[in-house]
Chain A
Amino acid sequence: MMRQHPVYLLFGILLIAMLGFAEWRGWSVARPTEVKNVPRSVRDNPGSYRPAYLYYGSGRYMRGK
């Protein structure tokens, strides 16, 4: 049975191994925008920070009805 489909067997093992690694590392299908070197002054003046992200989420972007 296993020898009949070595490609599928390998495919499945790789997928499952990848899944295990992804779960271990806490991967997600969506990623937020990562920004480096945010100044410490943001803590004192939160309004000065300008977000660098694109919309991150699964839902629609709708501001009111």
Chain B
Amino acid sequence: MVAPNVKGLNCPNCGAAIQLRSGELAQTVACSSCAAILDAKDPNLRVLQEYSGRMRWTPLVPLGTRGKLKGDPYEVLGFQVRGIRVDETDYLWREYLLWNPYKGFRYLTEYDGHWNDVVVLKKTPAESGGSRPTLEYLGETFKHFQTAEATTKFVLGEFPWEVRLGDKATTRDFVSPPHIISEETTKDETTWSLGTYVSPQYIWEAFQLPGKPALPRGVYANQPDPSAGSAAALWRIFGIFALVLLGMLIVRQTTARRELVFRQGYTVTSHNADSTAFVTPVFAVKGRTSNVRLTIDTDLRNNWAYFNLALINDQTGTAYDFGREVSYYFGYDDGYWSEGSSSDRATIPTVPPGQYYLRVQPELGNDNREPLGFTLTVHRDVPSLTFFVIVFGLLALPPIFAAFRYHAFEQMRWRESDYAPTTSDDE
């Protein structure tokens, strides 16, 4: 970049030194001391407007700072604070006018630590109407975000247009993160600009600013979601896992032996549990170590029964102790009702092959004095859905969490728009 052709003058309002860096291009210049707006075309810098506001803003990137953006050197010429008023609240942002004699003008905007690198568009984007307009620009679709009236609140430095405090423009923002297209309409003209979200660190490095930038607060209109695409990718991987699970389930269901190893019917007449204990004949449980399923089918009617059970290895003396309750009640109270079931089953995991018998001790409820008839059935290697359901659920957790994060981020983004999701507080 060539050395700047700086023209030194003095502010007629306060006497402070004024520097004109863009030479003939400057239309107005705001004194960095008293913030009065001066006519840069006038040899005496005629005062166009004095600043009477109490608030003063200091540019985070000082006027005259030179830095490199996208490989090209730029110098900060002007700084203005603009704002919109929504629901009695002022939202202010800061704009920096940058200049390169060969590349022209460029802007930086900053709001709550969110920075955008902005260039003016030479071509008007194609707009589609409707209740929620969109723009098409270079193959990208931008969604309408907000329409507002922006007011210039504070100005410093020089500008290639006639800037005034209180200048108003109707702004319409369209977003497609990390891009934003803004339309600004005044009574004289309409301009379109394209902003690209950049990190504060990028600005600090570009202009070699001292210290560290403030961290961005909240979610900005065109701030890219750091987890964007993550949820979709996770769902795709989950889909593959789900297919693998389905394949495994089919294989398991079709290859499980479900071998019937024992079945016998019994009748209990005594209600004294101590006298009802018995053992079954020994039966062979074959094959590899796998599960064993015991099914109890009873003829219970409005009664309960409790079965103390032990599957005992006749050779090793290892027993698997467990108990099952079966209860079945039914009747008519304003219609038929029933509760419980006359059958029950239990799965005993990892049972090695061997010779086994069951030790059974039924306890019979006193709600019905009828004898209890029941059948015990033992199957070997029975498939179960339980682990498939658990694994399916665990695999679904990460994509669900990522989708939740994505939607929360988008909700925060659109909360500041004209399409803010309605909450109960708003009603």
Contacts and interface: CB of A to CB of B under 8 A. Distances in A.
Contacts of B359: 42, 46, 49
B289 to A, nearest CB: 6
B199 to A, nearest CB: 21
A47 B230 CA distance: 62
A42 B360 CA distance: 11
Interface residues of A, number: 49
Contacts of A22: 387
A51 B367 contact: no
Interface in A3-28: 4-5, 8-9, 11-12, 15-16, 18-20, 22-28
A39 B314 CA distance: 9
A50 B366 CA distance: 23
B304 interface: yes
B387 A23 contact: yes
Interface string B296-318: 00000001101010111010011
Nearest to B363: A63
A45 to B, nearest CB: 9
B269 interface: no
B346 A57 contact: yes
Q: Chain A: interface secondary structure?
A: loop
Given A26-B349, A38-B318, A8 B398 contact: yes
Contact of B383 (A4, A23, A36, A62): A23
A64 B278 contact: no
Contact of B348 (A25, A32, A51, A52): A32
B223 interface: no
Interface in B321-354: 321-325, 327, 329, 344, 346-351
A49 B23 CA distance: 106
A28 B384 contact: yes
Interface string B372-400: 00000000010110111011001100100
A52 B251 CA distance: 37
Contact of B318 (A15, A36, A64): A36
Interface string B211-247: 0000000000000000001100110111001001100
B233 A31 contact: no
Contact of A25 (B290, B390, B391): B290
A16 B244 contact: yes
A46 to B, nearest CB: 4
Nearest to A3: B233
Given A9-B237, A33-B321, A38-B318, A47 B349 contact: no
Interface in A41-65: 42-43, 46-47, 49, 51-53, 55-57, 59-65
Interface string B124-162: 000000000000000000000000000000000000000
Given A55-B323, A59-B325, A5 B387 contact: no
B350 A26 contact: yes
15 contacts: A4-B230, A19-B245, A23-B252, A26-B349, A28-B386, A32-B346, A34-B321, A35-B321, A38-B318, A49-B277, A51-B308, A51-B321, A53-B323, A57-B346, A62-B325
